[in-house]
Structure 1
Amino acid sequence: MKKLIAFTITICTFIHLYSQNTYAFFGSFNRDKNTEGIYVYQLDMMSGNLSKVTTFTGILNPSFLTLSPDGKYVFACTESKTTNGGSVSSFEFNPENKSLTFINKQKSGGENPVYLAVHKNSKWLVNGNYTEGSVSVYPILENGKIQPYVQNFQYTEGSIDQGRQDRSHIHSTVFSPNFDYLFLPDLGADKIRTYRFENEKNQPLQEAETPFTKTTLGSGPRHFTFHPNGKFAYCIEEMGGAVSAYSYENGKLNNLQRINTHSEKYKDDFESSDVHISPDGKFLYASNRGSENNIAIFSIQQDGKLKTVGYQSTKGKHPRVFGLDPTGKFLIATNAGSGDVVVFKRNPETGLLKKVDKKINIKSVSCVQIKEY
């Protein structure tokens, strides 16, 4: 009987993997809106192979993408270091006819937009502007159209590195597990800023009891993620080459640990970038650019602290952003410097990664989002 049950589970899993439609969405620094900027590929959940579905031309430097919870809408921020030059755009993705259709765009409210997040109710979009150091909040209509921003907060203070931290640099906008708080790692100020998010209000960002969490001076907090259990949070620090682990409760972060993302042979000039946790909550992955070009792998302990497992080369240069598919079977790395995408199969027991199939070439590829339909 046990063998029959195990066999049935195996068959059901196989059918699920074979029949599902999983898509990977890639942004790029295309530098020219007359060339392809957004790319959509289908991910084969058996082999890990990527096959091109569609692309979009007519958008400049869509450096970061995010999707609505149902995957119907794709949002892109277009980087520009000119005053009032940046924007956030909306697209509709139809998996049946495999099309990506432009809806509209709005001004970013600051120079160099770099990160977007959508509320779980699909009614709000939040954008972080890096160069000018600001955050903008937009209502989203039911048809995916972005309305003009209703809030725009500008920050000015910097930190100890005058070359990199002369002023605020918001590098990501991340909702808490319950979507009642918003966290903003500020690379320029060495702070993780915090707001309450009251989604029923016309202006949802409200002052939090703890408005920010200080990070190590000169660390440059960049990207941020929560553990699936909602009890822990992790921030990768671009300039410090480390990940800080926190316990989390009701909008408050308490530091548990700070651990290097780099091996001992690298002493300075860190360019740590992105951070994600496997869906099973057992492993954390962090990307290093610069001279390292790898993914640091950590096991997550019961108390939320990290233990180094190893490092995996991304087989390219400048892995700016990477992503895990919803099942946790594959990790996809985007190498912006070498202009290629590499898929790795993840060992769920050890956390280690193994390259699958050939690279996909996408010039100046900057980010990836993966969604199962």
Structure 2
Amino acid sequence: MLKRLYLLLLALLANSFIYAQTTYLFVGSYNDAKDKDGIYIYRMNMESGNLDKVCTFSGIMNPSYLTLSQDGEYIYACTETRTAGMGSVSSYRFDRKLPTITLLSKQPSGGDNPVYLAVHKSGRWLVNGNYTGGSISVFPLNSDGTIGTAVTVIPFTDSSITERQKSAHIHSTVFSPAQDYVFAPDLGADKIRRFAFDASQAKPLQADSFVRSVSGSGPRHFTFHPNGRFAYCIEEMSGSVTAYKYKKGRLDSLQRLMTHSAPQKFYNSADIHISPDGRFLYASNRGDENNIAIYRISKNGTLSIVGYEPVQGEHPRNFLIDPTGKFLVVANQISGNVVVFKRNAQTGLLTNTGIEVKMQGPSNLQIRTYKD
């Protein structure tokens, strides 16, 4: 009898531990006006996928890309994107108890149209990519969540073969698995730029090398496989994904294939992510198709198509897979909706849950689970 009571108590404690946490979805957007909400936070039910609005923030223009501090207390945002001469990066405190979002600091981004942010694992550095400015910048992060003045801004003047590629366009800044390098796809120059990164230095980022992509391809977003041995880049202008072998900062091309189900007159691929178990890769296609392409990843890193899932909206600029791998959530910028899909971990296929929330211009998603 005592043994049964003991086991029952353990089960109750385990259940309490499981449910003593809350998951939040963070949404950045193109709000086009400071008097409109730009950052949204929703509580996400990890059983059903349901989203409940918690709080919003206005007073900033176009907070189009977000990332979080290591502890989730602070939000960092690319702000005043698409606003000539006004590009900035900003930081905010997210107080879960109130709940509120509070602006803490703002710094010039070092170039027009900042579009991507990454925080180093040390929590000391923020790396930003400026699309129109064609530059990469590095900012110190203070313990109170504020952003210091940029210690490095590296502009590029390269170009490539199409009308859109008359100048450099840095589109993402991604740390390597060991976080000793930063990789920055340059849509304007058809290059994936590599930078050495030493967090102990006063200026941690140093321009290092690059890998060329196919001319006119427009490399955009970049991701590493969980095993650290492979990397993948989605190419916006060619509608392709290129797979690479990765080792100690070196990228070697492995495979290149289309993200679309049929040839298009105009390609507009956007985002790329891998399931937490490393078995499937997902890529978003804007334009006529507006879908998520689903690929199986083989043991040698190559891809094979599994299928396509319509995003229930227009212009899927960004999406994420939650850390459990259960849900895939899409931000459809033009149709103004965020849509939740359930993910089959065995097949990789997606099912629309029917859950969506609406706002103007959703452009980026982040997710975080907190212990209550």
Provide the TM-score with structure 1 as the length reference. Answer: 0.94
Query: 3-state SS of the aligned residue for 2:270?
Result: strand
Q: Mark the CA change 1:8 to 1:368 in structure 2 (over 3 Å): closer, same or farther.
A: farther
Query: 3-state SS of the aligned residue for 2:89?
Result: strand
Q: Mark the CA change 1:357 to 1:19 in structure 2 (over 3 Å): closer, same or farther.
A: farther
Q: Mark the CA change 1:52 to 1:181 in structure 2 (over 3 Å): closer, same or farther.
A: same
- 1:81, distance to aligned residue in structure 2 (A): 4.1
- Between the aligned partners of 2:81 and 2:45, the Cα distance in structure 1 is 34
Cα contact 2:28–2:66 (8 A) shared by 1: yes
| Structure 1 range deviating more: 198-207 or 130-139 | 198-207
Match of 2:123 in 1: 122
Cα contact 2:49–2:355 (8 A) shared by 1: no
Match of 1:171 in 2: 171
Which amino acid in 1 is paired with 2:189? A
Query: 3-state SS of the aligned residue for 2:97?
Result: coil
- 1:36, distance to aligned residue in structure 2 (A): 0.5
Match of 2:329 among 327, 332, 337: 332
Match of 1:107 in 2: 108
Q: Mark the CA change 1:315 to 1:14 in structure 2 (over 3 Å): closer, same or farther.
A: farther
- 1:147, distance to aligned residue in structure 2 (A): 0.2
Identity %: 55
Aligned length: 363
Match of 1:200 in 2: 200
- Between the aligned partners of 1:13 and 1:339, the Cα distance in structure 2 is 39
Q: Mark the CA change 1:298 to 1:128 in structure 2 (over 3 Å): closer, same or farther.
A: same
- Between the aligned partners of 1:182 and 1:86, the Cα distance in structure 2 is 21
Q: CA RMSD in A?
A: 1.8
Which amino acid in 1 is paired with 2:199? N
Which amino acid in 2 is paired with 1:130? Y
Cα contact 1:233–1:247 (8 A) shared by 2: yes
Match of 1:226 among 210, 224, 227: 224
Cα contact 1:17–1:45 (8 A) shared by 2: no
Unpaired runs of 5+ residues, structure 1, are 1-6
- 1:94, distance to aligned residue in structure 2 (A): 2.2
Which amino acid in 2 is paired with 1:252? R
Match of 1:186 in 2: 186
Match of 2:5 in 1: none
- 1:93, distance to aligned residue in structure 2 (A): 1.2
1:328-371 CA distance string (max 9 Å, x none): 11111000010001000100000001111332111111111111
- Between the aligned partners of 1:372 and 1:82, the Cα distance in structure 2 is 33
Query: 3-state SS of the aligned residue for 1:60?
Result: coil
Match of 1:364 among 340, 357, 361: 361
- 1:259, distance to aligned residue in structure 2 (A): 1.1
| Structure 1 range deviating more: 350-359 or 340-349 | 350-359
Which amino acid in 2 is paired with 1:319? P
Provide the TM-score with structure 2 as the length reference. Answer: 0.94
Match of 1:341 in 2: 338
Unpaired runs of 5+ residues, structure 2, are 1-7
Query: 3-state SS of the aligned residue for 1:304?
Result: coil
Cα contact 2:337–2:356 (8 A) shared by 1: yes
Pairs within 5 Å for 1:82-101: 82-101=83-102
Cα contact 1:48–1:357 (8 A) shared by 2: no
